Amino acid sequence: MIQVIHGKKGSGKTKKILDMANAAVDQYKGDIIFVDDDNRYMFDLKHEVRFVNAGEYGSDSPEMFFGFLCGMLSQNFDINVILIDAFLKLVKCPIEATEAFFARLEKVAEEHKVEIIISCSVDDAAAPEFIRKYFI
């Protein structure tokens, strides 16, 4: 399952995804992964949450980031939840260019029974139709 936390910059998306990551510790038995573009929020997470600074790995497209996520899933079969903050900074493209990424990610999430929560700076009025079905 994929969920997208959406809104304009400064609307509280990061706070919400951090709270969701910390709450997931009590909800799930498996591993919880928090992916961000830098180390800024590393110490805001409970120690049980695995923090990954994806900005260190040079992803610069939706395809590269998809491969990065698949690599994590292939190495750890115990992942229950992946939370991704600053999604558009990680894929370095506008939201309109991510439709194929979301279609492929949805398939992988179902196959591996992993919940994926993404924080994305996109205005509701400007959001493409394909991403609206993931909005929470």
Q: Give residue-wise pLDDT tens across range 69-85.
A: 999 999 999 999 999 99
Q: Is a pLDDT exceeding 90 seen at residue 7?
A: no
Q: Which domains, and CATH codes, for the chain?
A: 2-127 (3.40.50.300)
Average pLDDT, the chain: 93
Alpha helices in 78-128 (DSSP H): 87-91, 99-112
Q: Give residue-wise pLDDT tens across range 36-54.
A: 999 998 999 999 999 999 9
Residue with token string 């939706």: 62
| Alpha-carbon gap, residue 57 to 51, rounded angstroms | 14
